[in-house]
């Protein structure tokens, strides 16, 4: 995945892109949040100091999922009453992208899908409510209200002016899962599966003492 560069519209520093289809990125020099509008890049805000975490994953890490190589190009960070988690944005070598959820070292891969029918408003969801999607039966397991805590790197959409976000997690009988993301006016559906860290064959990860 060859890298490309552009100049930060705020400080002029070169910003290297790991994924050519990025719509948003952050400048590592001045911490500007930069979004693509038509063919131009514009500063829309600045990132605050990111919360510390113990995740081994970082931007630039590389791995493999279902025989497709990927590189980690960005992340969204959330916090809630039990802690926090990262949603790492993955760029695959076939041009597609997906997400690696990292919640206190529990990992899951997911991809955005167009729902076969309109998704219900968050206020209408109930625990154990069921949905039939893509030849699978899913049941609501948890509904979480999280705080947006930061963003870093390259994303496939604009995402920088959020506050509280509601998520509904669902599971199928065969251990697949789905998430309804209420961060947008039209809810988004992500479908995926849990995965063991070692199965991702990660390299270029963060190393900690005593590892």
Q: Ranked by mean pLDDT, which of 7-11, 79-83, 177-181 comes out on top?
A: 177-181
Task: Find the Cα–Cα–Cα–Cα dihedral 117, 119, 124, 130, rounded to 10°.
Answer: 60
Give the residue-averaged pLDDT of 114-121.
93
Pick the range with the lowest mean pLDDT from 8-17, 35-44, 74-83, 133-142: 35-44
Supply 171's token pair.
Answer: 């599971």
The pLDDT value recorded for residue 209 is 62
pLDDT of amino acid 189:
97
Residue 121: predicted pLDDT: 94
Question: What pLDDT score does 154 carry?
Answer: 94
Please indicate whether residue 104 or residue 141 has the higher confidence score (pLDDT): 141
Q: What's the whole-number average pLDDT of the chain?
A: 90
CATH code of the domain occupying 4-46: 2.20.28
3-class secondary-structure state, position 199 = helix
Higher pLDDT, 209 or 20: 20
Pairing of strands 24-26, 32-37: antiparallel
Asked if pLDDT for residue 52 goes beyond 60, the answer is: yes
**Does the pLDDT of residue 41 top 70, yes or no?**
yes
Which pTM does this prediction carry?
0.88
Q: Which comes out higher in pLDDT, residue 179 or 17?
A: 179
The confidence band for 6, taking pLDDT boundaries of 50, 70 and 90, is confident
Which position has the higher pLDDT, 201 or 48? Answer: 201
pLDDT at 39: 67
With bands split at pLDDT 50, 70 and 90, how would you rate the model's confidence at 1?
Answer: very low
Q: Dump pLDDT digits (tens) for 180-200.
A: 999 988 999 999 999 999 999
What is the torsional sign of CA 85, 89, 93, 95?
Answer: positive
Taking the C-alpha atoms of residue 31 and residue 48, their distance in angstroms, rounded to an integer, is 8
Nearest alpha carbon to residue 159 among 168, 170, 148, 169:
148
Q: What pLDDT does residue 159 have?
A: 84
pLDDT tens-digit map of 138-157: 999 999 999 999 999 999 98
For the chain, give every domain's residue range.
Answer: 4-46
With a cut of 90, say whether residue 54 has pLDDT above it.
no
């Amino acid at each position: 995945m060859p890298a490309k560069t552009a100049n930060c519209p705020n400080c002029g520093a070169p910003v290297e892109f790991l994924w050519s289809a990025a719509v948003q990125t952050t400048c590592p020099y001045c911490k500007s949040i930069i979004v693509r509008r038509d063919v131009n890049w514009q500063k829309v805000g600045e990132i605050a100091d990111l919360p510390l975490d113990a995740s081994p994953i970082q931007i630039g890490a590389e791995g493999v999922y279902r025989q497709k190589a990927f590189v980690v190009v960005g992340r969204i960070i959330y916090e809630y009453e039990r802690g926090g988690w990262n949603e790492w944005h993955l760029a695959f070598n076939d041009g597609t992208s997906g997400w690696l959820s990292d919640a206190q070292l529990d990992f899951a891969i997911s991809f955005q899908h167009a729902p076969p029918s309109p998704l219900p408003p968050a206020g209408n969801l109930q625990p154990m409510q069921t949905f039939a999607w893509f030849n699978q039966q899913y049941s609501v397991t948890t509904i979480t209200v999280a705080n947006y805590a930061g963003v870093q790197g390259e994303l496939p959409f604009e995402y920088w002016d959020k506050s509280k976000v509601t998520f509904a997690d669902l599971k199928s009988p065969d251990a697949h899962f789905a998430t309804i993301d209420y961060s947008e006016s039209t809810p988004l559906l992500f479908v995926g599966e849990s995965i063991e860290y070692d199965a991702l064959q990660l390299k270029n990860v963060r190393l900690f003492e005593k590892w």
